[in-house]
Amino acid sequence: MIEPRSSGRKSVTLAVLIVGIVVGSALGSVIGYTLASRNGQAQSGPLSQQVAALQGRVDLLTSELNYSGQPAGNLTYASNLTQIYVSASRSIVVVEGIVSQTTVGLFGPSKQYGMVQGSGFVYYYEGLPYIVTNNHVVSGATNITITFEDGVSYAASVLGSDPYSDLAVLRAAGPISAPGLTIVPSSGVQVGEPVVAVGNPFGLAGSMTFGIVSQVGRTITESAANGYPIADVLQFSAPINPGNSGGPLLNSRGEVIGITTAEVSNSQGLGFAIPSNTIIRELPSLIQNGSYDMHPYLGISGTDMTPYIASAAGINVTYGWLVENVVAGGPAARAGIRAGNTTIDTVLGQVTVGGDIILAINGTRVTSGDVLSSYLEENALPGQTVMLTVWRAGSLDNVYVTLGIRPAP
C-alpha cells in the first residue's frame, strides 16, 4: 500500500537532508579551496568553475524532487500510478454474458441461467478496434455485452478464441472511440519489475491494484485446456479477484505485458497472466481465422523429477522431467521416447518410473515441466525438429523429435 502523506514527509526530510549535505559539501569545498589558496596549495582551475560544477549537482538533486517532495529516483513508479490509471481506464471494459446449465431433477431436465463477468481491453489491429479478454470469461456465454468507463454498452460477439492460451477476441456491435492499449513483448520482463492490474473484480468497475512480477515461465492448467498446461505464464503479486480475468497487466509505462487470467485461492495476492508474447503471436490468427492451432505437441505426460522420486527409484538424477506415458503414434513415440514401466510409491504419491528423463531441449537445461512447456511455446512450432537430451538407463542420449500439432480440445 502507498501512504502518500506519512511517506511523503519522510521523503521530504530525506531529500532536504541530501540536498543539505551536497550544499554543505559545496561550501566546504569552497572554503577549503580558499584556505588552500592562501597556503599556496590550490589545484589548478578557476574557483568559479568548481563552484559552478558543485552548484549543478545541487540543482540536479533539487530538480529530482517531485510535486510531493519525494525523491523521484525512489518513487517514480508510485507517483505515476494515477497517470497510468487515467491513461488506461478508458480502454478497459466490463465483459458480461449469460450461461446456462441443464440439471436433472424430479420433474426431468431443466435449465438454470447465471451471469458471468470479467474484464477486457481495447486493442487496435490494422486500424480496427477489438476487445481482448480471456476465453474462460466468454466460453459458452450468450448475450455478451461490453461496458466502457463512461457507461456506454454494446452487444459483442466472439470473433476468435483459444482455450489452450485462455485468449479470446470480441467484436463490438457499436462504434468504439476509446483509445487502444499498447501491447509490448514480454520477453524482457524480469522478476521484481513493478506491474499494475486494472479490471472489474466482483463487478467493481475500473479497480486498480499494483505489485511486482514475482516469477516468469510458470505453467497453469484450466479445465477448458483439456488438461494441457498453459505455458510461459507470468506470476505477479498484484491482488486480483473474480472479475479481474481478461484485464490487462501493465508495466510502469502503462503498456500491456500480459492479460490476467487466474488467482490462487486463499493466497495473499498471487496472480497469473498470459504473457503479451502469446497475445502478439496469436492475435492475427484469432481475428482472421477464429482460432489458433500452432501449439507444438510432443505427445507425452509425466512429472518433475525430485530427490524423493530419485531416492525411491534408486537413481541419482534429481532434476528434469520424468516421462511417465507416451501417446501411441504421437511425435515422441515415433522418435523413440520411452515411457515408464514401473509404478512406485513415494512420499508425494505414486509415480511411474523407468522412462526417459528429459534434461535438456535444444541445449537448454530442463529443470522442470514449466521450463519444457515454456520453451516449446516460445521457441517451437509444429513441424520443427527439436533435440531432447534424455537420461536413459544410466546414460545420456540425444533424441530428435519432429513436433506435431496439439489435438483440438
DSSP letter at 121? E
Catalytic residue (one of 162, 166, 232, 370): 166
Q: Identify which of 301, 342, 194, 303 has the alpha carbon closest to the alpha carbon of residue 254.
A: 194
What is the CA 402 to chain-centroid distance, rounded? Answer: 29
Catalytic residue (one of 11, 136, 139, 165): 136
**One-letter amino acid for residue 255 of the chain:** E
Q: Which residues contact 339 (CB under 8 A, 6 or more apart)?
A: 300, 323, 324, 325, 326, 352, 355
Catalytic residue (one of 207, 245, 276, 374): 245
Active site residue 245: yes
Active site residue 166: yes
Residue 143's H or E segment, with its range, is strand 142-147
- β-strand partners of 99: 114
Q: Identify which of 124, 133, 150, 130 has the alpha carbon closest to the alpha carbon of residue 96.
A: 133
Active site residue 136: yes
What is the CA 300 to chain-centroid distance, rounded? Answer: 26
CB atoms within 10 A of CB 41: 10
Residue 229's H or E segment, with its range, is strand 229-236
Query: Considering all CA atoms of the chain, what is the largest pairwise distance in Å, rounded to the nearest integer?
Result: 109
Q: 3-class SS at 279?
A: helix
Cβ atoms of 180 and 308 closer than 8 Å: no
Residue 197's H or E segment, with its range, is strand 194-199
Task: Give dist(CA 27, CA 41) in Å, integer.
Answer: 18
- β-strand partners of 169: 132, 160
Number of continuous H segments (helices) and E segments (strands) in the chain: 9, 22
Q: Which residues contact 30 (CB under 8 A, 6 or more apart)?
A: 47, 50, 51, 54
Task: Give dist(CA 358, CA 375) in Å, integer.
Answer: 13
Q: Which residues are catalytic?
A: 136, 166, 245
